Structure 1
Amino acid sequence: MMSREQNERITRVGAGTPAGKLMRLYWQPAALADELMGERPIKPVRLLGQDLVLFRDETGRLGLLDRDCPHRGADLAFGRLEGGGLRCAFHGWLFDAAGRCLDTPAEPEGSTLCTRIRQKSYPVIERGGIIFAYLGEGEPPAFPAFDCFTAPDSHVFAFKGLIDCNWLQALEVGIDPAHASFLHRFFEDEDTSGAYGKQFRGASAGSDMPMTQVLREFPRPVIEVERADYGLRLTALRRIDDEHTHVRVTNLAFPHAFVIPMSPEMTITQWHVPVDDTSCYWYAIFTSFTGAVDKAQMRAQRLELYELPDYRPRRNKANDYGFSAEEQREQTYTGMGNDINVHDQWAVESQGRIQDRTREHLGQTDKAITLYRRLLQAAIDQAEAGERPLMVLSPDEAAGLTGPATIDSIGPTVGWEEHWRRLERERRTGAPWGAKDHAA
């Protein structure tokens, strides 16, 4: 059982906190690239408890600055894009993407005040349809050569959604293979041919058995967890019969992402990014190993459940997540519709804004959560000691981290290890964009 002090240490991420120091050593998703489209590419961002403004200047360069103007604290998110940067609407002070003050037009002719002014700026880079920010000191780490970062734009799709709770409990649902047989249980199976863009609605590789049937009929997986260079690999085995076993391989990419199969053709890389201590966004990159992603369909599916501009869920605590007692009796285990993001959202938000882990009782199926928390605590200790934690990568280290491998398949009960590795190799070999080799 965890103490209150330990729980505070691993959940709080503001500036100066132990976990906050760790999180600032990594690139963090700050916005979708789509959010800077249109005539006014300026967006307020709250990230790790900091208030920032993200913009794309007239030349297309990205900038991320502290949100309060250094003159008298006005909100730069209401500024104007002109003169090569972002101009404050209060007195016209102008800042470029690097935070340099270019102009203080209300000052007397010949004033050199602007040469002594600098607004705090942060490195930003666009990858896979997401704009990442680095809020730490010194040189940012290199990006791993994961599939979501190496696939071309045509084969990736990015989206996000707001969750009204601490980032850690939102992440932990993704490294819990046992919950899917209950939280995501459907009493009837759909035609798998219409499963594009939907998780747990298609058939597993090597079978025509719908994933919903697998989860419903085999609720006691054997879970294996092993350490990996990027974090953890999880394997959940559901024995179908003497000859067939369902194998699901997923990954925890430290510090707060997981990589999971969506279908035999597509994987999901998903981060749970702290807005502050009591809310977070999930950011996901969907990566296709076959044809180009149908981005219009994927986006339309998700906008049925999320409202712009803040990507707030339409089903939420205020409307009981759309709960229907009749549906719970006849269609789904939760009675909250057929989208698993809603199920996950209810599960983690119902734990409170910050889960009280002093009251929980973990079981054997929680082994990945237990091991992850040890990794997290060790990394926080390393960051405090000025050491380099897991996944703070040099360019050479990053180039060697490919994949990571995922699978959702039904194969032989004897020899399932080689079966899923063979399927993974075949998928990578057949990818039209040249997926990098991965030692599964």
Structure 2
Amino acid sequence: MLEHTPDVLTIPEAAETLKLSVSAMQSLVDDGEIEHLEIAGQTLIFKTFLIEYIEKLRHACYTESADASQAPQGHLDNHREQDIPPFSEGETEMAKYKFNQSVTINGAKRWITANSTQELIDKAMALALAGAPQDHSKHPFEEYAWNWFQTYSAPNVETSTATTYKRQIRLYLIPAFEGLAVEDITVDDVQRLFNNMAGAKATKDKARMVLNQILDAAVEEKLLSSNPLKSRRLKITGKASKATEPYTVEQMRYLVQHIGDIQKPEDRTFLAILALHPLRLEEVLGLAPKDVDTDSSTIRVQRAVTHPSRNQPEVKDTKTDGSHRTVGLSTLALPYLQIPSEGKFLFGGNKPLSYMQVRRMCWRIQRDTGFSENITPIRFRTTVLTDLYDQTKDIKLAQAAAGHTTSAMTLKYYVKGRETSSKAAAAVDKLYSA
């Protein structure tokens, strides 16, 4: 098999070569048992790494002592009776073979003698196929899911989205459908997956979204007559995710009054931009010095910086076409802006800030200002949009400032409202008493 194997393999291809499950192969890679390379988020294994792994196992089990009269070392030192190689062929016959290896097939131990690695693999394959005939008409879910991810998903979505999809497959879907073929997955199996998942409903929805795409592909290939996720019997429940709370007006006033207390100029500029404008953190990190125009009092949003792999920043386009926009520059921010004359990015110079650099900046800002709560970037966007709508009552204006494609998105997730229940009652009383 190795003779006809490509020089570079993916995880599923390497698993197929060694006749292991994809999860078992992934474990070997994660544990460092098999060397690999990471290129553009893809795990690749050279054929030579597989050969070295096989040789390492062979030498670990059968390293001979310097004294030929001693027994082989390794795991055979404490062998049990069933581990002793059969001697029916005699000592002379056994000496002819380079390999004398035991394998377990369907719970039964078998011994294979061979003159080469290729012969050893061929004989092991023959025994496996003879002892456990496979149904090649069906598609194991694990292999089908990874093939879908690597062929149709990862090359066609953002890196952060691909990372999320991969996490759902590895943590939830494969353990739930282990040992099942795609063709055998039922509504009951899917329901058990979500019944056994803990956490918020949003977590389950991520797994549902990925599974739905995989099962839709199976329906398209006529492996399934219908998608079990579309069943009316299916119930996906869970606690609601905690909504992002805006900072209070008093907290925002405190921060604005203490921006000048921040020691580093870059930190002061960061808080002035982040806290006073309805921008996503990724949009703030993607700003170039020329995007902040103090003469026209505008900020142009044209790109974003995300961190799909934590400390590996990725420069990309904005989230949607509507996110390409120009927002007004706050006059409160102007005194604290220090715009560099050089560098590709407003924050970080020629290289965008990493995830950890942003966290450290937020810690320094909290320390220097003496702010009572954590500096959480997403809360500023929610706060500014809440107060923008509260002061203007213009949802279209808030939508444009947020860079949303619909006003419903702005209202549902970002406009929290400042009015109290007593004000609502007073408004009704005023109307009905007229």
Q: Which has the larger radius of gyration?
A: 2
Q: Which has the larger share of helix?
A: 2
- TM-score class, shorter-chain normalisation, is under 0.3
Q: Could you tell me the TM-score, scaled by structure 2's length? A: 0.25
